[in-house]
Structure 1
């Protein structure tokens, strides 16, 4: 099965790398993302070290569907109206901050009791999450002080010394990273 320039082989290969707790680079709706297995503390530590990011900030998870996120979010704390609001934007490029389920690893939530999650409709992400069987960590692919990579050339320029597997596919082309909203308050955190 060929999906644009993504072959089933490349999805399977990247999924296998995720299962080996490797950090990968993949296209998102607006920029390239660094991703890894959200359940692997060692993979998260590697990702944070590469990005030079503090664990305290927390991380975003991106998924193919809502059921992939239920292990990490405390859905029981939401009203029907809050769920309807979230589902009116998904799948799509809106990230929601949910109350985290008890037991969600600190390396995902950072210093917070919440977790940022998104269900994407971008096929490269969806197919990768479906093959992997769970969500991916999603943080912009850039080193501290550099802008997020929007092309494969920019990815290579910033990460050439890290030997990371890359999905060679264009980003969707949205001008800005995903909007971030708080599901409990409805407040927009990032436009």
Structure 2
């Protein structure tokens, strides 16, 4: 893949994020929709688009664990628990961490925890690096419709002007596995 071909589209998507817009991008299995996790306006737009209640909480996807540190209480994990998490990252496994008290409720919902993932998808990683922070990540689909697996499906469901980072998913059939970072308990099979 020619990295120069991706720079302009990533810059366009970063500009959309900075304007509090919801964007779409390929992930390990399906396209995701996301936004700036620190913008209540952007998250409210995403929740309205998805018809998702705020109390369910959201997932953050990042290029590195460093990007997630402002949101999760890493001190709550033992060395063994941290090793278990880091042995699965980067990759398609989401872990639920205790959230820092400063983490906004529009991210955690009714929980005192936050689901986070360090991705190994090259485009999402590049996007998070260029934006300088993680993104909210939920499947790209309107309520009642299947998750989008291509940019064209995103544009069909969300409209031709929707900001989409074009690219391929990693080809996984199932969404990311979700586990508790403290106990290892499986919440969703991957």
What TM-score, normalized to structure 2?
A: 0.96
Deviations 1:56-84 (A, max 9, x none): 11000000000000000001110000000
- 1: distance between equivalents of 2:69 and 2:32? 22
**What does residue 60 of structure 2 align with?**
61
Give ranges in structure 1 of 5+ residues lacking alignment: none
Q: CA RMSD in A?
A: 1.3
SS at match of 1:180: strand
Q: Structure 1 stretches (4+) deviating beyond 3 angstroms? A: none
Deviation at 1:154, TM superposition (A): 1.5
Deviation at 1:19?
1.4
Alignment of 1:1-191 (within 5 A): 2-3=2-3, 7-160=6-159, 163-191=161-189
The 2-side partners of 1:7 and 1:63 are apart by 18
Count, aligned residues? 189
* Unmatched runs of 5 consecutive residues or more in structure 2: none
C-alpha change, 1:168 and 1:6, in structure 2 (3 Å) is farther
Give me the whole-angstrom Cα distance separating, in 2, the residues matched to 1:42 and 1:167.
21
